[in-house]
């Protein structure tokens, strides 16, 4: 009985040791840049290239041509950077990969 209790306690302790998933901090551009670099560096080498492509897709997909024109007219890129930061804020690696796959599927559907 004691052995069973020890095994149960040990398994509960191990399940509590799971590392929380790293998320992007989109509070400002610098925080986003730093968290992207940290997240990228935490991945295995073969996943880093995939992550780079996924981040690029996610960022470019959220840029609206009308927003670019308006920002250009007013010489104010803050609208674009704020939108970019907000769209990536709190996302995990899995969510970024999933978003990139969804974007690819959408682009294929428009062809």
How many domains is the chain partitioned into structurally?
A: 1
pLDDT in tens, 43-86: 999 999 999 999 999 988 877 777 777 777 777 777 778 888 88
27 within a domain of the structure (yes/no): no
13 within a domain of the structure (yes/no): no
User: What is the residue range of 95's domain?
Assistant: 46-111
80 within a domain of the structure (yes/no): yes
Instruction: Determine which of 15-19, 25-29, 55-59 has the lowest per-residue pLDDT on average.
Output: 15-19
In this predicted structure, what is the pLDDT of residue 19? 58
Q: Which residues contact 13 (CB under 8 A, 6 or more apart)?
A: none
> Between helices 45-61 and 93-110, what is the axis angle to 10°?
60
With pLDDT > 70 as the criterion, what percentage of the chain qualifies?
A: 81
Q: Indicate the pLDDT class of residue 14, thresholds 50, 70 and 90.
A: low
20 within a domain of the structure (yes/no): no
In this predicted structure, what is the pLDDT of residue 21? 83
110 pLDDT more than 90: no
Q: Which residues contact 84 (CB under 8 A, 6 or more apart)?
A: 26, 29, 32, 59, 62, 63
64 within a domain of the structure (yes/no): yes
82 within a domain of the structure (yes/no): yes
* Residue that the structure tokens 């997240």 belong to: 39
91 within a domain of the structure (yes/no): yes
34 within a domain of the structure (yes/no): no
Tell me the mean pLDDT in the region 92-100.
Answer: 95
Q: Indicate the pLDDT class of residue 10, thresholds 50, 70 and 90.
A: low
């Amino acid at each position: 009985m004691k052995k069973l209790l020890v095994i149960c306690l040990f398994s509960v302790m191990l399940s509590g040791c799971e590392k929380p998933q790293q998320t992007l901090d989109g509070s400002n551009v610098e925080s986003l840049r730093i968290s992207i670099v940290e997240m990228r560096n935490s991945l295995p080498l073969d996943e880093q290239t995939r992550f780079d492509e996924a981040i690029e897709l996610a960022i470019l997909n959220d840029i609206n041509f009308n927003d670019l024109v308006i920002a250009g007219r007013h010489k104010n890129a803050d609208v674009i950077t704020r939108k970019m930061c907000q769209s990536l804020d709190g996302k995990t690696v899995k969510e970024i990969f999933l978003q990139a796959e969804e974007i690819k599927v959408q682009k294929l559907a428009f062809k």
